[in-house]
Chain A
Amino acid sequence: MNLHLKVWRQKDAKSAGKLADIEARNIPEDASFLEMLDIVNDDLTGKGEEPIAFDHDCREGICGTCSLSINGVPHGPSETTTCQLYMRKFKDGETIHVEPFRAKTFPVVRDLIVDRSAFDRIQQAGGFITARTGSAQDANCLPVPKVAADAAMEAAACIGCGACVAACPNASAMLFVGAKVSHLALLPQGQAERTSRALKMVRTMDEEGFGNCSNYLECEAVCPADIPASVIARLNREYTVAAVKDGVA
């Protein structure tokens, strides 16, 4: 199949960018979106032009590195990651807009690559447990109710891709932070740092400049890991309880 691409090209973080018209020719229907870009890049390099820079790593939907807003939807039309999106989802001759994930907090590095290290800094502020490494203790000493295990697992599925921020009209990171805080708040291992984690992660999220949640739920609609918006309700609860505990302590 042949497609007309409108791709964001930007030399570096400081330059202004613009949408460029690029033709994608002879693309197999079963190619993934990233493989389509590989073919286009081969073509561009053959002609002595700069290939399109884009992020990718595992290409199997688990690492969260791929991004792209495709026709106005982060990760495109298939409710998966971009690497798991196949060209059969598009029609021959279609025009496809390919833009970077946009947010003030995700500055463009080059073309379609954005800097998502703000997420790393939020994680480093509290998205972990402090535990002695070494031999694990007997699992039966840490009972986890099935309901909590399932909810924690659901939240732990977040791959940190940033599509939630890219889709949110406010560029809010509440779905991501909600997933991280929920995951550990539900498990016994997360209890010791439960209060400080909620406070620190939200503080870092705010300091980085992410927007506030208006409950539009656009994040949930694009999340490739199916993180439900209920993690945001949990975060709202965790944070307020943490602020009260910390305030009176």
Chain B
Amino acid sequence: MNPISSYLSSSIGRKWIVALTGLGLFGFVVGHMIGNLQVFIGPEPLNRYGHFLQGLGELLWVVRLGLLAMLVAHVVFTIKLRLENRAARGTPYAVTTRRAATLPARMMALSGLMVLCFIVFHLLHFTAQKIDPSFLALHDDKGRHDVYRMMILGFQSKAASGFYVVAVGLLAMHLNHGIGSLFQTLGLNSAKVRPLWEKGGVAFSWLIFLGYASIPVAVLTGVLK
């Protein structure tokens, strides 16, 4: 077997792919959050930012396809791992007492799949604007797509806002285990740095939740209008 396929068929090689793609997606999640939080500064910076991204043209598609590839690889490899893990367990115990595995750790597949469903909805909602096609017609006075109004209108629906808060909650839960876990998988862990990754990962996942959830909450409570 050639060295690359041999590495990718090993348990550790596959976990590295999950961790590297997880890290890449995590980077996007952080960047996307910072971009969105500009909504609190006002329409001008947010619309300018949206316009800048649209202006990237072909380059935007390179980024999009890169993200898609990472997501597909992440999902394909986690499914492979999960199937192998289930087969390896064999006869179940009559009684099992868990001592260490946290709830977010045990929910990775579920939170991951929910995030996947959310990503599909989210793209239809705000990127393709298929859920409410009137979003396509929103333009600001400089003729740019009015991302700001789209966010406000989108989140004025209680159902949509509630759904987003739950979804980013699940994403944060995925990262609650995922961030610490990825450093362990990539071999960047030791007794010395372990508390940093574990506590830092949990703290960071909360930041992600609060950062993303703050936008629908601010719209619903009328802080943003």
Which among A72, A103, A170, A239 is the interface contact of B10 at CB below 8 angstroms?
A: A239
Main secondary structure of the interface of B (DSSP, over half): helix
Closest to B16 in A: A240
Contact A222 B99 (CB under 8 A): yes
Q: At the interface with chain A, which of B67-75, B123-131, B186-194?
A: B186-194
- In A194-249, the 8 Å CB interface with B consists of 202-203, 205-206, 209-218, 220-222, 228-230, 232-240, 243, 246-248
Is A171 in contact with chain B by the CB < 8 A criterion?
A: yes
Which among B11, B15, B94 is the interface contact of A6 at CB below 8 angstroms?
A: B94
Q: At the interface with chain A, which of B46-54, B101-109, B147-155, B165-173?
A: B101-109
Chain A residues with CB under 8 Å of B101's CB are: 169, 216-218
Chain B residues with CB under 8 Å of A248's CB are: 3
Is A89 in contact with chain B by the CB < 8 A criterion?
A: no
Chain A 158-192 interface mask (CB, 8 Å, partner B; 1/0):
00000000010111100000000000000000000
- In A96-122, the 8 Å CB interface with B consists of 97, 99, 102-106, 108
Is A69 in contact with chain B by the CB < 8 A criterion?
A: yes
Chain A residues with CB under 8 Å of B12's CB are: 202, 235-236, 239-240
Contact A215 B91 (CB under 8 A): no
Contact A215 B194 (CB under 8 A): no
Known: A102-B91, A212-B84, A239-B12. A71 touches B97 (CB 8 A): yes
Chain A residues with CB under 8 Å of B14's CB are: 212
Is A144 in contact with chain B by the CB < 8 A criterion?
A: no
Q: At the interface with chain A, which of B58-66, B132-140, B177-185?
A: B177-185
Number of residue pairs spanning A and B whose beta carbons lie under 8 angstroms apart: 148
Contact B108 A171 (CB under 8 A): no
Contact B11 A205 (CB under 8 A): yes
Contact A232 B89 (CB under 8 A): no
Contact A215 B181 (CB under 8 A): yes
Chain A residues with CB under 8 Å of B95's CB are: 69, 71-72, 97, 99
CA gap between A62 and B15 in the complex, in Å = 33
Is B55 in contact with chain A by the CB < 8 A criterion?
A: no
Counting chain B residues whose Cβ lies within 8 A of the other chain, the interface size class is 35 or more
Chain B residues with CB under 8 Å of A5's CB are: none
Chain B residues with CB under 8 Å of A71's CB are: 95, 97
Which among B16, B90, B97, B191 is the interface contact of A72 at CB below 8 angstroms?
A: B97
CA gap between A11 and B37 in the complex, in Å = 65
Chain A residues with CB under 8 Å of B94's CB are: 6, 8, 19, 97, 99
Known: A6-B94, A217-B100, A229-B184. A202 touches B11 (CB 8 A): yes
B171 to chain A, nearest CB (A): 18
Contact B100 A216 (CB under 8 A): yes
B1 to chain A, nearest CB (A): 11
CA gap between A97 and B94 in the complex, in Å = 8
Closest to B2 in A: A247
Contact B15 A236 (CB under 8 A): yes
A32 to chain B, nearest CB (A): 20
CA gap between A217 and B105 in the complex, in Å = 10
Closest to B182 in A: A215
Chain B 76-104 interface mask (CB, 8 Å, partner A; 1/0):
00000100110111111111111111000
Contact A210 B99 (CB under 8 A): no
Is B43 in contact with chain A by the CB < 8 A criterion?
A: no
Known: A105-B88, A215-B181. A236 touches B97 (CB 8 A): no
A235 to chain B, nearest CB (A): 7
The chain A residues found within 8 Å of chain B, CB to CB, are 6, 8, 19, 69, 71-73, 97, 99, 102-106, 108, 167, 169-172, 202-203, 205-206, 209-218, 220-222, 228-230, 232-240, 243, 246-248
What would 29 A/B residue contacts be, using CB atoms closer than 8 Å? A72-B95, A72-B96, A99-B93, A102-B92, A102-B93, A103-B88, A104-B88, A104-B89, A108-B91, A169-B101, A171-B85, A202-B10, A202-B11, A202-B12, A205-B11, A211-B87, A211-B88, A212-B15, A213-B11, A215-B180, A215-B185, A218-B99, A232-B184, A233-B190, A236-B185, A239-B13, A240-B16, A243-B10, A247-B7
